A and B are shown apart, each in its own frame.
Chain A
């Protein structure tokens, strides 16, 4: 690995091959690496296998564009701005997308296990639900449980032999090829600083074979090392870095900008059908690069999303002298 970890947006996306097992930073509609998601769509990536602690708008974009064959997670939607994932729903109904359901805690524990280098995690969550129904092992039904890319079992049920705690469920470590993160700051050597909630980013970065970090800004490594307790991910866990201001839009970034709810509402209401998605993608994704996308969004929109730097969030009252 060379010391120079910098790549361009286009190069970052070229690292992600067709069929990759991929995961992301963030939480539902917060701190998602959207600029890379858009570029994956522009480069027509196919057959992706998303394994996510939770999904969100970025999942809907990738699934709507036909980039994804398998989605392994627990939730997709746009929170307040769209109550479910209409693209995922459509592709499931048309059997173009395989969905493997786990619970939210189970997905988190699966990444925690992978990040600790152990093959599975144990929990007492979701016992007695259809999430554990043996008939609903979708990767198994598709003959994809090879014990290499995909675990041999979706679950194993067992009993506690240490303290007689009762029924337990074992869930396989989430093995992913690549984690793509969007963060506040990354140093030239890869040290990551996130402000606010870090969600499950440390776990997914450590679990992945390759970690790509896109940041609002690349800062001197020495600056981050002056205050190491504030850093979230150590340099050597990060393979590639790039700078991309506003690269999480329309998702939000703590202390920087709010979720673009209007944009997500528009996406949700206009992409129920494939034709609707294609029209949206034509307008907002294809034929654009990150700068022309920002230009299309415009100054007034971006200014209104901007957070107050003392409060770290965006108050509801409009700002800027109006």
Chain B
């Protein structure tokens, strides 16, 4: 058993990375985006899930990148891969149902786990156009579970997102746009949905029947009431299990010495506290 880090020995991105890493189970097929999720998956690969299969959207299948890639299209993604090809493979594999877990992000999330990465404000008169969907809705449509890593601010945890880029547990049925459970729309393609939101204050899950988000654990130092006040909807805090598990010293060593020594995605608090 590895020893848990003490307060001051890790930073918030370390905590998020380790929480995200623990979502992976061994032997799963995992679809990864760039950034923190990539560190989380490679951490899982080097700890409790050595047999996970990593898929990058640009077309590398079961890759073992020797360095942390700066994007999923990067050259080092395909080093050690079982196959290197293209997007048709990556999305076909996902739609076919091979993907167990996907990691995603977003600018806004609502009570049903719908996520917006497209625009802030009215789509037709957009104040701020963001990146757009990318593969976010596709992975969220096809994977059995998805995990969102998000910055927690009250303006980002909203009752209804201004634009549903990526489908949560209750989604809009067109042409009318009334909310229905995603099971109703996805038919044979229904395999699950958002499984966790890991924010900068806590870890949230979803009641798969009502489709509503609830708080599972608070990050150290946060209370359920504080977190409730940081959501624009009435967050269910009746199912809280306690505190989010903190990083172990072993995990911190792997993150900072092996995976991200150049602090591209995660700052190394140890380095800076001695400066």
Contacts and interface: CB of A to CB of B under 8 A. Distances in A.
Q: Do A and B come from one complex?
A: yes
B86 A200 contact: yes
Interface in B142-168: 142, 163-167
A106 B163 CA distance: 18
Contact of A29 (B71, B77, B135, B185): B71
A99 B118 CA distance: 11
A86 to B, nearest CB: 9
Given A89-B128, A166-B185, A197-B60, A130 B138 contact: no
B138 A28 contact: no
Contacts of A74: 132-135
A93 B127 contact: yes
A202 B86 CA distance: 9
Interface stretch (B6-14, B169-177, B197-205): B169-177
A40 interface: no
Q: Which of B79, B135, B163, B180 has the most chain A CB within a 10 Å cutoff?
A: B135
A81 B134 CA distance: 17
Contacts of A124: 95, 141, 186-189
Interface in A34-80: 53-55, 73-77, 79-80
A201 B85 CA distance: 10
Q: Which of A103, A136, A252, A315 has the most CB of B within 10 A?
A: A103
B171 A127 contact: yes
Contact of B131 (A84, A129, A135, A196): A84
A129 B164 contact: yes
B88 A203 contact: yes
A249 to B, nearest CB: 15
Most buried by A among B88, B182, B262: B88
Contact of B138 (A76, A125, A258): A125
Contacts of A80: 34-35, 70-71, 264
Interface residues of A, number: 76
B129 A129 contact: no
A92 B138 contact: no
Interface in A278-319: 307, 311-316
A197 B70 contact: no
A135 B85 CA distance: 36
Contacts of B138: 103-106, 125-126
B275 interface: no
B137 interface: yes
Nearest to A197: B59
Interface in A96-110: 99, 101-106, 108-109
A254 interface: yes
Contacts of B189: 124, 165-166
Nearest to A82: B131
B186 A167 contact: yes
Contact of A125 (B75, B137, B163, B171): B137
B124 interface: yes
A50 B124 CA distance: 20
A75 B91 CA distance: 16
For the side of the interface on B, what is the size category? 35 or more
Contacts of B106: none
Contact of A123 (B72, B95, B126, B131): B95
A83 B131 contact: yes
Interface in B60-115: 60, 66-67, 70-79, 84-88, 91, 94-95, 114
B73 A313 contact: no
Contacts of B128: 89, 93
Nearest to A315: B67
A125 B141 contact: yes
Contacts of B4: none
A166 B187 CA distance: 4
B251 to A, nearest CB: 22
Task: Pick the most buried of A198, A258, A307: most chain B CB atoms within 10 A of its CB.
Answer: A198
A305 B134 CA distance: 27
Interface string B225-266: 000000000000000000000000000000000000010100
Contacts of B134: 54, 74-75, 104
B142 A125 contact: yes
Interface in A248-283: 252, 254-255, 258-259, 261
B130 interface: yes
A1 B138 CA distance: 40
Given A104-B135, A200-B88, A166 B188 contact: yes
B175 A166 contact: no
A197 B133 contact: no
A104 B57 contact: yes
B58 interface: yes
* Residue from A79, A128, A166 having most chain B Cβ neighbours under 10 A: A128
A315 B78 CA distance: 14
B78 A196 contact: yes
B64 to A, nearest CB: 13
A227 interface: no
7 contacts: A29-B71, A80-B71, A89-B130, A128-B164, A133-B174, A157-B175, A312-B75
Given A104-B57, A131-B133, A197-B84, 12 more contacts: A28-B73, A93-B129, A108-B87, A124-B186, A124-B187, A124-B188, A125-B141, A126-B138, A129-B166, A129-B171, A157-B175, A197-B85
Closest 8 CB pairs of A and B: A166-B187, A128-B171, A313-B75, A27-B73, A105-B138, A30-B73, A75-B134, A79-B71
